[in-house]
Amino acid sequence: MDSAVYITHTASFMPNAPVSNDEMEQRLGIVNGKPSRARALVLRSNGIRSRHYAVDATTGEFTHTNAQLTAEAIRAFAQQGLDINKIDCLATGTSIADQLLPNHGVMVHGELGLPRCEIVSMAGVCLSGISALKYTWLAVRAGEAQCAVATGSELASLQAQARHYQAESEHNVAALQERPEIAFEKDFLRWMLSDGAGACLLQNKPNTQGPSLKIKWIDIISQAHVMPACMYAGCEQQADGSMKGWAHFTPDEWAQRSIFSTKQDVRLLNENVMEQTVEIPMLHLQTKRGIRPDDVTWFLPHMSSEYFRKLIIKHLEAANFPIPQERWFTNLATKGNTGSASAYIMLDELFHSGKLKTGETILMYIPESGRFSSGYVYLEVV
């Protein structure tokens, strides 16, 4: 039996009109009446010119939930002439769902109103979307599904609203003045993350017309055995590096300490992310998969910031895997950093660009700074 699996269709959904750098703070809100000092610094280095928020520009109200963003991406398949009622497996990935329970996948299923099907919801940060893709790949490959959909989605702007930082700012003014890096680590991500959703439809046969992407392999590699947590939410990092979960704090502390806000140790990130997610994994993949630089036609890196471009180049070269810039494809500047959705949104734009030719290959690189993991997806255009 042919166990080949193909991405036959891709889709994405970006809510509302693009938001420029100058419009960001108005859309997300000003904390404690003072414009962010981190915003200009972050925007200078991240290279993002516009992004999308599920926030109405006039009323400030949210136009979509995370589940609704995901459902809209899947509905785009119907606009491509597909019968989404034939989906028999749906795997979703997101960093932070709309609720703790039920899981994100069943909420998307409910939004769509599809017939009964298998539902899987992946946890994590950026890699949750690729974990969903790997699940559907294996499900179709095993013959357990015939028409599977994998998704990645984020509603980052909800957590980035000023009201989620107000209580801590008022309660902890002295501490923030004494250690301004605390404020930066929490403010930093407000200007890095944005909203969007993407989806891939997987089948065991390629399209009869137009391109399909044969999945050669998907590898997900964790470095948590040697690295501490770097990006986290719903907890607070302790002096020894351990995490104290949200349930160990009082409801008052949830607000006063911004427990549910997403935070990132920027210094730890900058000093380690490239070695742990590029250099070490690429050395491993060359041994495991036998892949070489000439085997890559298109390189799709999920970059949170243009700041990392030169570092990716440096560490690819250190791993004896240089990829010339003309083979890179990214839409960070216009779509922003949409976390677990970024890889899907990149792939969707390339898939519908008309640039792909039979026999070309795509290597996708997705790092996750949660505790330094990475995902690599290798595809062939057929």
Q: What percentage of the chain reaches a pLDDT higher than 70?
A: 94
Give the model's pLDDT for residue 173.
42
Of 263, 270, 255, 266, nearest to 236 by C-alpha is 263
Give the model's pLDDT for residue 187.
75
Q: 128-154, pLDDT tens digit by residue?
A: 999 999 999 999 999 999 999 999 999
Give the model's pLDDT for residue 167.
54
Do 361 and 379 form a contact (C-beta atoms < 8 A)? yes
pLDDT less than 50: residues of the chain: 1, 169-176, 178-182
Give the model's pLDDT for residue 37.
81
Give the model's pLDDT for residue 175.
45
Question: Distance between CA atoms of 127 and 373, rounded to whole angstroms?
Answer: 8
> Which residues lie closer than 8 Å to 335 by C-beta, 6 or more apart?
14, 51, 52, 194, 196, 342, 345, 346, 349
Q: What is the DSSP letter of 246?
A: G
Give the model's pLDDT for residue 301.
98
Question: Distance between CA atoms of 61 and 139, rounded to whole angstroms?
Answer: 39
Tell me how many degrees the CA angle 56-99-334 measures, rounded to the nearest 5. 40
Question: Distance between CA atoms of 164 and 124, rounded to whole angstroms?
Answer: 21
> Which residues lie closer than 8 Å to 182 by C-beta, 6 or more apart?
175, 176
Q: What is the DSSP letter of 191?
A: G
